[in-house]
Structure 1
C-alpha cells in the first residue's frame, strides 16, 4: 500500500547573517498511512513546528523528498500544492489563527468557501454542526475576540475538521484546555479521523496526548526516533 504521506531524507536549514546555516532537520524518514495515529514529541526548539509545516505542504525541505499519495510534492507548482493542501490537510494551529472580526461559525466556514458542491452550499450548516460537536453550540454567533482561549482552540479544531481532511495535523491541540476538555477534544479528533479514514499527526508536550497514539516519535538533534507509546511517560 502506498503511504498517504512519505518523507525520505528530508533536511531543513536556514541561512544566518554571519555564520553557517542553521540545520534544523537532518535526514528525516517518515511514512504515514491512511488512518495512522502518530505523536511527535521533543523539547522546545527541536524543530517540531518546522517538521509540521513540511508535513502540511506549507514549507518545502532544503533537500530530500516529500510525497502525498505517491506524488512528489517538489514537482508541483505553488498553486497545485495549495489546492492539494486545501483538499487533503486540516491544520489545528497552536496560535489558533482565527479571524477576529468573524463569529465562531463564520471562522469554521472559511475553509468551505474554497470547496464545491454540497460543502460550499451547506457551509453555514456544516460549520454550525461541527461547532456543536466541539461543545460550542451556544457560541455560534460570538465573535472570536469574545471567546476564551479554550473556546478559541475548539473553534480552531472545528475549522480543521469541517472539510473531513485525509490528513489532520495538530500542533499542541490541548495546550489551552483543562484536562477534562483536552481529553474530550482528543476523543473528537480521534472520532472524526476514524470516520474519515484520516491520519492524525499530533505535535505535543502533553505526555497523556502522546501516549494515545499508535506510534510515538521523538525529534531530537534534527532526527526522528521511534518510541514505544508506554515510553512516552519517561520523556522530559
Structure 2
C-alpha cells in the first residue's frame, strides 16, 4: 500500500552570510500512513519546524524526495502544490493565529472560501458543524478576545479540520495551554483524527503530549531516529528547551 506521505533521504541546508553551509536536516527517511499517529520530539534548533514545513508542503528539501500518494511533490509547480496542500494538509499551531474581530464561525469557514467545489457554498454549514463537534456550538459568534485559551485552540482545530484533511500537522499544539486544557485538546485532536482516518503528526518538546502517539521519533541535530515509549517516560521535562 502506498504511504500517504513518504520522505526519502530528505536534507535541508541553508547558506550563511559567511558562505558556510548549515545542515538543518540530514538524510531523513519517514513514511506516514493514513490513520497513523506519530510524535516527533526534539530540543530547540533540532530542525522540528523545518521538518514540519516540508511535511506540510510549505518548503522543499535541498536533497531527497517527498511523495504524497506516490506523487513526487518536489517536481510540482507552485500552483499544483498549493492545491495539493489545501486538499491534504491541516495545520494546528501553538499560536492560534485566529483573525481578531472575526467570529469563531468566520474564522473556521475562512479556509472554505478558497474551495472550488460545493464546499464553497456550504462553508457556513460545515464550519458550524465542526465547531459543534469541538464543543463550541454555543460560541459561534464569539470573537477571539472573548474566548479562553482552550476555546481559541479548539477554534484553531476546527479551522484546520473543516476541509477534512488527510494529514494533520500539530506544531506544539498545547504549548500555550495549561496542563489540563492541553490534555483535553490533544484527546480531542486524536479522536477526530481517528474518526476521519487522518494521519496525525505532532511536533512537541513535551513528553506527555508525545506519549499519546503510537509511534515516537526524536530529531537531534537534524537526524530523525525512532524511540520507544520508555525513552519518553524516562526523560525529565524540566530539562527540555521549548521550541
1:165 to 2:165 alignment: yes
Unaligned runs of 5+ in 2: none
Residue aligned with 2:138, SS: helix
What does the per-residue CA deviation read over 1:129-168, in whole Å, with 9 as the maximum and x for residues that have no partner? 2222223233221222443333322211111111111000
2: distance between equivalents of 1:98 and 1:40?
A: 25
**Cα distance in 2 between the residues matched to 1:45 and 1:100:** 30
1:215-226 matches, cutoff 5 A? 215-226=215-226
TM-score normalised by the chain length of structure 1:
0.94
- Which secondary structure state, in structure 2, belongs to the residue aligned with residue 31 of structure 1? strand
**CA distance in 1: counterparts of 2:90 and 2:231, whole angstroms:** 28
**8 A Cα contact 1:153 1:176, kept in partner:** no
Deviation at 1:118, TM superposition (A): 4.2
Note if 1:57 corresponds to 2:57.
yes
TM-score (norm 2): 0.91
Deviates more, 1:11-20 or 1:165-174: 11-20
Alpha-carbon contact 1:217-1:225 (below 8 Å) kept = yes
1:95-136 deviation per Cα after TM superposition (whole angstroms, max 9, x unaligned): 222222321111111111122444222211221222222232
Q: Count residues in correspondence.
A: 236
Runs of 5+ consecutive residues of structure 1 not aligned to the other structure: none
Q: Is the deviation greater in 100-109 or in 135-144?
A: 135-144
Counterpart in the other structure of 2:156: 156
**Equivalent residue runs for 1:75-114 within 5 Å:** 75-114=75-114
C-alpha displacement at 1:189, in angstroms? 1.3
Deviation for aligned residue 1:63: 0.8
Task: For 1:183 and 1:150, locate their aligned partners in 2 and report how far apart those are by CA, in whole Å.
Answer: 10
Contact 1:211 1:230 in 2 (8 A): no
Runs (4+) of structure 1 exceeding 6 A deviation are: none
Output the aligned Cα RMSD: 1.5
Answer yes or no: is the 8 Å Cα contact 2:95–2:176 preserved in 1: no
Matched residue, 1:203:
203
* Partners of 2:40 and 2:218 within 8 A in 1: yes
- Give the CA deviation at 1:234: 2.3
